[in-house]
Amino acid sequence: MDILALNCGSSSVKYQLFSWARKEIIAKGMVERVTVGDSFIIHEVPNRETYREEYECPDHRVAIHLIIKTLTDKVHGVVTSMDEISAVGHRVVHGGEKFTCSVLIDEDVLSAIKEVQHLAPLHNPPNIAGIEAAQSVLPDAPHVAIFDTAFHQTMPQHAYTYPLPYEWYEKHGVRRYGFHGTSHLYVSKRASVLLGKNPKDCNIITMHIGNGVSHSAIQGGISIDTSMGLTPLEGAVMGTRCGDIDPAIPMFIQQQENLSAKEVDSILNKKAGIYGITGRFTDRRDVIEEAEKGDERCILALDIEGYRLKKYIGSYCAVLGRLDAVVFTAGVGEMGWLIRERALEDLEHIGIILDKEINKNTMTRKRETMISTPESPVKVFVIPTDEELVFTEDVVAILEGTYADHMHFDYSFAGKDFKK
């Protein structure tokens, strides 16, 4: 059984083909600059040279066709026919309250996803485009939706309800939903294994830090709070998103600068965060390099991000009570040793003792590493995330009829004998 995982972003499509029988990746890659122009595909197959092809993709349908063409190519491909693909798993960012677990996609499911696309206008439309494109080229294969929001549907009402007119929740679904759910699920399960405990006995703070950033407080194996909210704009400082700000600021700037609501929303999502502070960068590597040269705004950006990360650790520690571990994951979380150090400075009083040397030497997306000292009461791990494996296992379980939800399913990576 070969499972294709698709992750359609606004201007990219990530993919991974996984052999369930052999428990290994057959191929993976990404089509970049979809809808933007000058698009191309990067295709990776184990024990082969990486293949790159320039190919114009004006929409996601063409990008999906390019992936299919590449996977079946006589020279660079890995399958002779798409009939060899048993099913497709699709990342869907927002499922609203309707979806608390992964589901087989039918007309009703796709319609429900479309109904909440206004809650994630940057993400759900390309997710939907990817589903429809994949269904057109693989009409006979089962398609499964894996929701970013599903993992966080265990939050208690007092955590997800905003102090706003309650009818906004009743009429428009205004509440905290949370995102990056598959990533938080994967790394929290792996952290439980590294702790040598059952997930139900673990309290963990997971820190997914990339261009998008979200954190989760996980108590007894389930999410009880998370930093992103109704949309992925709330929470931590991100590459281009502002995160937590005074809610009066957008209206104030709208009036002062004579901007439309749409223009302000675009600025908060695309021109704020690290980019807004530095005026130039979203990549933390660039920020660190310029900060070392004395750039004051890059120094400020690092100070702000480290401070905000630390505040989330402290607040979630208060919510969880006993804390077993803090986990860093995603691009910056896995590679950004300085960001991690800034976030964990002077937290010995809550039981976090960082081994600065190990932390500084931990910059890999292939190895799980403990970066706290052996005597640290709270362990700190860097765990490379694997959202595509979550997609694959959910798809297979749904096809085999063994899947219920993430709380009642035995993932392979939650076992102590798991090896990537």
- Angle between helix axes 124-137 and 60-71 (nearest 10 degrees) is 50
pTM listed for this prediction:
0.92
Residues 247 and 376 occupy one common structural domain: yes
Digit-coded pLDDT (tens) for 317-361: 999 999 999 999 998 999 999 999 999 999 999 999 999 999 999
pLDDT at 383: 97
348 & 403 share domain: no
**Is position 148 annotated as part of the catalytic site?**
yes
Q: In CATH, what number is assigned to the domain containing residue 61? A: 3.30.420.40
Decide if 166 is inside a domain.
no
Total domains, the chain = 2
Looking at the structure, tell me whether residues 348 and 399 fall in a common domain.
no
Same domain, 336 and 396: no
DSSP 83-101: GGEEEEEEEES--TTT-SS
Say whether both 246 and 126 belong to one domain: no
Q: Does residue 173 belong to any structural domain of this protein?
A: no
> Considering the domain boundaries, does residue 192 fall inside one?
no
Query: Which residues, other chains included, contact 146 with Cβ-Cβ below 8 Å and sequence gap of 6+?
Result: 89, 90, 91, 92, 102, 182, 390, 391, 394, 395
312 and 356 share a domain? yes
Catalytic residue of the set 38, 73, 83, 148: 148
The per-residue pLDDT for 33 is 84
385-401 tens-digit pLDDT: 999 899 899 999 999 98
- Average pLDDT, integer, range 288-300: 95
Whether 187 is in a domain gets the answer no
Residues 403 and 344 in one domain: no
- Is 156 a member of any domain? no
- The residue segments making up the domain with residue 139 are 2-147+390-414
Question: pLDDT tens digit string along 156-169?
Answer: 999 999 999 999 99
Could you identify the residue written with the tokens 């108590």? 219
Tens of pLDDT, residue by residue over 178-203, are 999 999 999 999 999 999 999 999 99
